[in-house]
Structure 1
């Protein structure tokens, strides 16, 4: 019987899974990685702890132009099956808040170590320093020209990632390989990333941290919101709620429209109630300056900025602050509005939003609808997940699906 060979382009999470599964289903597998070692980006996930899945894999945690597309792969390797898979490799899972699953070791290197060992132990040929330059199909065979030589295969899985984290080798290489076969691209943009804001006072409040609410607006329309710990920076704003909202902001800006961020320092409190409280506080603290009257209620570094924005003199006696000024300050405390100028870019982004258009890919096999024998896995596809292990689950599930499909095709 003729040898059935599958080539995997990209040795990240999805590529490693695809290589291992294709090998287990009988294919001879060559894994081509541009970096000196596979899995470089995996080491940085979960702040080096590797949040590798989540107990709640509801489809609402996945995004893209057509999110239901993700269900095909997610149903082929479920969360429970993912836990069993990694347990077999030696990774003992530990559940933390919000259903996040980490290795009990607390080290991302543990996940990479067992994957690397298993891939090599089961006979996958791993070729590093092999940047894919071109991909050509002649008859039933693909030819991959790389910086490390030329490779042939009956089926190919492109798992080169997106553009997030170029310092780890993710530079969008795979897009051009797919586009050369006629695949369409949904323009990629950074997601799970800090936001840049337009404001002259940012350097003065950089480092101020608080638990609050953030929301994204397009004009007067509320689009999305999140709560949690928020951090002002010298370029804008960060923190888990901001990362969660960054995709929404990116979608608006991709349409060349203005995205606004509203921040509440007092989440779940009404502006009118806050105004009434401030009026009472200013009466009670009447002999103090406006600036000092707010000490103990607002972070001291924010007080001068907020007072200036509300058109209140710092040295004004609290008793002399009028209702218009009080209402303006209450509005700032509950809905401080900023214009978003962009994100902190690809280097800071945890994931790529956008990617290969899923209309050109079969959701059940992750095979190309244009080129038989060509498959895709991971971040290269127009699917991305929330923070919390969802992007790695997509990598595992899509890698499993593509690797299995490629092995079966190459038979």
Structure 2
């Protein structure tokens, strides 16, 4: 007898519940800001990716309203049929100029961008070598290709070189890495990775979801931070939903990359174009980050302060060097309990366990933003001190 849908759902949910991994997302009752309302409670928000405070920024909302009024609520079609509005192409030109690349194309999310770009580029006989801690969207995107897939040790140029030597090919060779790793907050050593890739004729592919808007001059990203933004053998992909405050993904790089993706990237070919209001908000975000250098300065000032104070309390932040600041609690139940206790103290910070992070390294991932005040951070630090001592994580 076949399994019924009801039986399958019950079994899967029971397994998650018994392992302590069943997720019940909290609900925001107001806009995502440094202080917001969650499930009816006023909290300091350390859970969002709103690095520059753009999710509710007046300049972005004004441009979104302007584009909404002029261009309507939707594009009405996929880009390749009748959905490419003039504002789509103008924003892509703006993004390429900002990223210092030959071209750029916008897709619907960072997740689908990895599926689309990797699927468009890679063929049978190609070789792709991927960091072991790369984002799930990279892993899923690579599963859809026929390229030979190898995994190198996290952020290890020597292991990358070993694999490139052992698995040479006449096809395309692609080295794939996150720019900033989303769970640990560390930065890929792009200077050494690109050097190794070039020695073996490989292209470097950087998912800069958490680096764009955070690293480099005016938030141009990790590739810019390491000085490779003009390089045709480096591809940048990422999301427009974190630091940039909107939604969508992008691919930027070689001048011909955009045209290939227009013709081959399946998420682009079979999805309706981005809504005009989203395009307007994103265009304003790129203008604003270049107009106001204090945004980046506040982001990094807050980051340095928060990390130093957490370490001073005795917490393990896992060597993070970016605004992503994990606090390690060990097993998932401890991280989830810490999250609950923090929420009781007015701090919204989410616990993460396996399979999002490895067993034994469950954590709360905190993200500091440019919008947080020193009072916000001090409130969070006091709550962390109380919770850490209550759970015997710190003394």
TM-score (norm 2): 0.22
Q: Determine which structure has more spread, i.e. the larger CA radius of gyration.
A: 1
Greater RCO, CA 8 A, separation 6+: 1
Structure with the larger helix share: 2
Alignment TM-score, normalising by the size of structure 1: 0.21
